[in-house]
Structure 1
Amino acid sequence: MPLTAEDRLVIQAAIELGGNIWENDLLKDIKRKIKDHCLTTTSYQCCYCRTDFTDEFRMVMDIEHILPKSIFSDFMFDVFNLSVSCKRCNMRIKKERTDFLQDINQVRLSPIDPDQYLISHPNLEDYFQHCEYFSSTHNGKKYIKYVPLTDKGVFTYTYFELERKEIECLSENQGVRIAENEISENIPIDLTNEIRQLLNR
């Protein structure tokens, strides 16, 4: 998705205005262009969990900055750092975290080196070489399964709590209601993961 010279002028104007650059109204059309491009490159799926966005409202999907824009603002508009993700993966799990990087300082020097990432990078690698994703629907019931193939696949599976997605899918098919209330976001992530493991036993 090459940005045009006009796009770059608009981006520069937004940067010069300062503040929360990404939310500047000047960027509305550019962000739409970015989202359209990223949806095409991911085949209308979340870049992390492969949730299908076909026929979904655009508000259920986010433009994803693989390297968080709050920390790596220099890469805010770089195509290698942009994709689309579901609200679950982006806002509930990944947020502004950087613990999927080998070395936060080294990645600044080599941001397009896939070896700098512990997860499968949505734009630098083929997701399915690291993790297979099976999805089928039978009589209105959906079944999903992830099969990690590499260390990155295992890390991606664990990091984005993909086992939980599998369990939720099976539970719904069996008529088990999933609790709507999530564990408080004020609880540290490692403790949250332990609580979830206990609840899923």
Structure 2
Amino acid sequence: MIVTPVVYCEDDQTLVDAFNHLPRPNMDSNYWSSDELKDLRGRVKTFYITAQGSRCCYCNRHLGTENHRVWDVEHIADRSKHAWFMFTPTNLAAACLDCNTAKSSTEVLTNARRVTYPSGSQHFKIIHPHFNRFADHILRVGQVYLPKTSKGKFTIYKCDLLRFAEKYIEWENRAVDRRFETEVSTVFADGLMAQAAVENIIAQLPNAE
């Protein structure tokens, strides 16, 4: 799924425009948390939860609720590093609390000095919900996330998607151990190996998520 960007209502656009006209040195990322933006934040969160079909933009899990307390508004390019992108619609999405906490302030831009927001996936290290389809970069088999691309691998590690395997499957090594990366990197080495590896993983999984 490619997520559609939010369109601000007139009142919200006024607040956005006022911020975007500030000189860059005066753009304070903490403004996002101000009381003045409470309604805007709520509308943005509701929009992206719905637009994403109640699925986290990083782990692609269906949360089964629209309750705002279990969702975060995600700034894909972190607002503490790139405050000038704070209200850019294509920089916003809805993420589960665990993925957003794990990603934290990770730099996801290939060029951290950008002053204009990128218009394509090639400028991001991470899976971008407005530019990428999850399944093109990650194969999910039950609790296991396997990278198809370098972007998929980056997302798996930076958003700690290995936490699901750690919780439900008894891996020989902890998933965060770098040896795990070597193991999963071989999965897509060739078609026969991929098929055998995936079948082996499926055999280990519980029936339910």
How much has 1:13 moved relative to structure 2? 5.8
CA RMSD in angstroms comes to 2.9
- Residue by residue over 1:122-177, the C-alpha shift from the partner in whole angstroms, topping out at 9 and shown as x without a partner, is 11111121113344xxxxxxxx2323222212222222222232221336xxxxxx
Match for 2:104: what amino acid?
K
Q: TM-score by structure 1 length?
A: 0.70
Match for 1:70: what amino acid?
S
What 5-or-longer segments of structure 2 have no aligned partner? 1-5, 181-209
In 2, Cα distance between equivalents of 1:69 and 1:123: 17
Q: TM-score by structure 2 length?
A: 0.68
Note if contact 2:55-2:62 (Cα within 8 Å) is conserved in structure 1. Answer: yes
Equivalenced residue count is 167
* Aligned counterpart, 2:177: 197
After TM superposition, what 4+ stretches of structure 1 lie above 6 angstroms from structure 2? none
Matched, 1:120 2:119: no
Q: Secondary structure, in 3 states, of the residue corresponding to 1:83?
A: strand
What 5-or-longer segments of structure 1 have no aligned partner? 136-143, 172-193
* Aligned counterpart, 1:186: none
Where is the strand percentage greater, Structure 1 or Structure 2?
A: 1
Matched, 1:170 2:178: no
Which structure 2 residues correspond to residues 50-199 of structure 1 after superposition, within 5 A? 50-55=60-65, 57-91=67-101, 93-98=102-107, 100-105=108-113, 107-135=114-142, 144-170=143-169, 196-197=176-177
* Aligned counterpart, 1:36: 46
In 2, Cα distance between equivalents of 1:70 and 1:158: 21
CA distance 1:95–1:29, shift in 2 (3 Å):
same
In 1, Cα distance between equivalents of 2:131 and 2:140: 18
Q: Which has the higher contact order (CA 8 A, sep 6+)?
A: 2
CA distance 1:108–1:114, shift in 2 (3 Å):
farther
Larger mean CA deviation between 59-68 and 153-162 belongs to: 153-162
Match for 1:95: what amino acid?
S
Q: Secondary structure, in 3 states, of the residue corresponding to 1:147?
A: strand
In 1, Cα distance between equivalents of 2:144 and 2:53: 18
